[in-house]
Amino acid sequence: MMWAEKALSDIAIKTIEGVRPDRLMEKKMLLDKNKLVIGNLEIDLIKYDNIYIIGFGKASALMASHLMKFIGNRVKNGWINVKYGYKVDVPKVTVWEAGHPLPDENTIKGTKEILKIVENAEDDDFIITLISGGGSALFEDPLIPLKDLIQVNELLLGCGATIQEINVVRKHISRVKGGWLAKLAEPTEMLALILSDVEGDDVSSIASGPTCGDRSTFYDAFAVLERYGLWNSLAESVREIIKDGIEGKISETPERIDNVNTVILGNNFDALKIAETLGKEKGFEVEVVDKFIVGEARSVAKKFVKMAEETISTRKVNKPVLVVAGGETTVTVRGNGVGGRNQELALAFAIYGKDLNALFLSISTDGTDGPTDAAGAIASGKTYHRALEYGIDPDGYLERNDSYSFFEKVGGLIKIGPTYTNVNDLMLLLVNYS
C-alpha cells in the first residue's frame, strides 16, 4: 500500500473509532449521585420505581454496555435488537440478533419482547431507549405479512430513494414506527438516546422515528411509491394499508409525543471534526465540506472529481490537500452485480477521474457497505488504468452495479468488520500528492 493510501485508511479507521458510542457517551454523560446528566439534561433517577433499557440499531448494544457502567445497579432488565455479528454482552439486558438491511423473523420476535417491556411498564417507571442507524430493519411489528414487508423494503432500497423517503413508507406499514412506540409507552416517561445517521439529525427519520411525533401521512407514503414507479409492483397487503390510511380507516402516525426526552449523542459532523484533526496531524492542508453529501453515487463522484480538478488548478501549496466530507449517497440498482453505495462511489470516481492525480476513499462508518463484507473502497485514476491492464472494463462493472467484484479483482476494498457505531459515510479526497 502506497503511503497516501495508508494515510487515508488510517484517518478513516481512527475516525470511526472516535465516533464509537462509548467514546461519545464518555464525553457527554456523567452520574452525579442520583442524577444522570447528559448535556443540559438532568434526570433524577431516584424518583423512578423501575428503570428499563430497550434499544435497536447497530450501535445499540455498545450504547447499552456503556450506559450500564453509569446506572447498572438501578436497571431492572432490558432488551436490545442488533444486527447479526454486532452482539455485545450486557448485564441484565438481552441482546438479540436480527436481520439487516432486511427484517426477518428474529426482528419481529425481538420487537415483541421489547413491546412486552414497554406495555408492562408502570406510570412511575422509566424507559431508556437506545437508537442508532439500522433500527428501521431491526425494530418492526408490521401491519403486513413479513414476506410483503421484505419485498417493499427490497424495492425501496434499490430504487434510488432517499432514507427519508424510504422511512415515510416504513412508518405507515408499522405498529411501532413514526411515534407509535412512545404512544404505547404512555404515560411512562422515556429517554431516547440517539446516535444519528441522518442529515440534520432529524429524529423522525432515524430508525423511522419510533419515539417522536411524525407529520408525514399515508398520502405521502403513496406519493413516494408512485414517484419511484413501485406502486403496481407491491403486494396487495401494502396497497390496502396505504389506501385504508388515505381513506381514514387507519389512524395517521401521531404528530405529538409528550412523554419522551431526546438526546443526540453523536452524528456525522463529529466524524468530520475528528478526520479534520487527524488530517492536520499528518501534515495535510485540510478542507471540510460543510454540506451533507447526498445524491446518486455516480453523480456525487463527478462532484468530487470537479473538487479535485479545482484544487489542483488553484492551489499553489507544497503539501497535499485533504478534502473531508460526509453524508450518504444512494444507488439505483439496474444491474445484477454486488456492491454498496461507497464502493460504487469509489468506482465511479476512478472512472471519471482517471486522468487526475487524486486519491479517493469512501467508507460506511458502520463497517458494512450494502450487502457485502466491505465497509467501502479506495480508488484513484491509477485504479482505472490498472484494471485495463488486467483486461477488466471498469465501465462495465459500474453499469452492472458490480463494484465489489471490481475492487475484489483490482484491489481497493476496505474490510474492517463490525464497528458498533453508525454516523453515515465518510469521504476523503487527497490531491497534490506524489
Q: How far apart are alpha carbons 297 and 342 in whole angstroms?
A: 8
Q: Residue 409 is inside which H or E element, if any?
A: helix 403-410
Cα dihedral value 157, 158, 164, 170, nearest 10: -40
Residues 6 or more apart from 198 whose CB is under 8 A from it? 163, 164, 205, 206, 328, 424
Residues 366 and 305 in one domain: yes
Listed in sequence order, the DSSP H helices in 228-359 are 236-246, 268-281, 297-314, 341-352
Nearest CA to 108 out of 147, 138, 148 is that of 138
What is the domain-level CATH number for residue 48? 3.40.50.10180
Residue 140: domain span: 21-266
C-alpha distance from residue 426 to each of 27, 33, 304, 351, 420 (Å) = 22, 38, 13, 20, 16
Q: In this structure, are 275 and 228 located in the same domain?
A: no
How far apart are alpha carbons 345 and 332 in whole angstroms? Answer: 12
Question: For the CA atoms of the chain, what is the radius of gyration?
Answer: 22
Q: Are strands 321-330 and 285-288 parallel, antiparallel or unpaired?
A: parallel
Per-residue pLDDT tens, the chain, 434 aa: give them.
589 999 999 999 999 999 999 999 999 999 988 899 998 899 999 999 999 999 999 999 999 999 999 999 999 999 999 999 999 999 999 999 999 999 999 999 999 999 999 999 999 999 999 999 999 999 999 999 999 999 999 999 989 899 899 999 999 999 999 999 999 999 999 999 999 999 999 999 999 999 999 999 999 999 999 999 999 999 999 999 999 999 999 999 999 999 999 999 999 999 999 999 999 999 999 999 999 999 999 999 999 999 999 988 886 667 899 999 999 999 999 999 999 999 999 999 999 999 999 999 999 999 999 999 999 999 999 999 999 999 999 999 999 999 999 999 999 999 999 999 999 999 999 998 86
8 within a domain of the structure (yes/no): no
Judgement on whether residues 40 and 53 belong to the same structural domain of the protein: yes
The Cα diameter of the chain in Å comes to 70
CA distance 200 to 348: 27
Q: Are residues 289 and 251 in the same domain?
A: no
Is 3 inside a domain boundary? no
Report yes or no on 15 lying in a domain. no
* Same-domain status, 258 and 291: no
In a domain, 420, yes or no: yes
Supply the pTM of this predicted model: 0.92
Q: How far is CA 206 from CA 11, 235, 331, in A?
A: 26, 26, 20
CA 423 and chain centroid, separation: 6
**Structural domains counted in the chain:** 2
**In terms of domains, do 261 and 315 share one?**
no
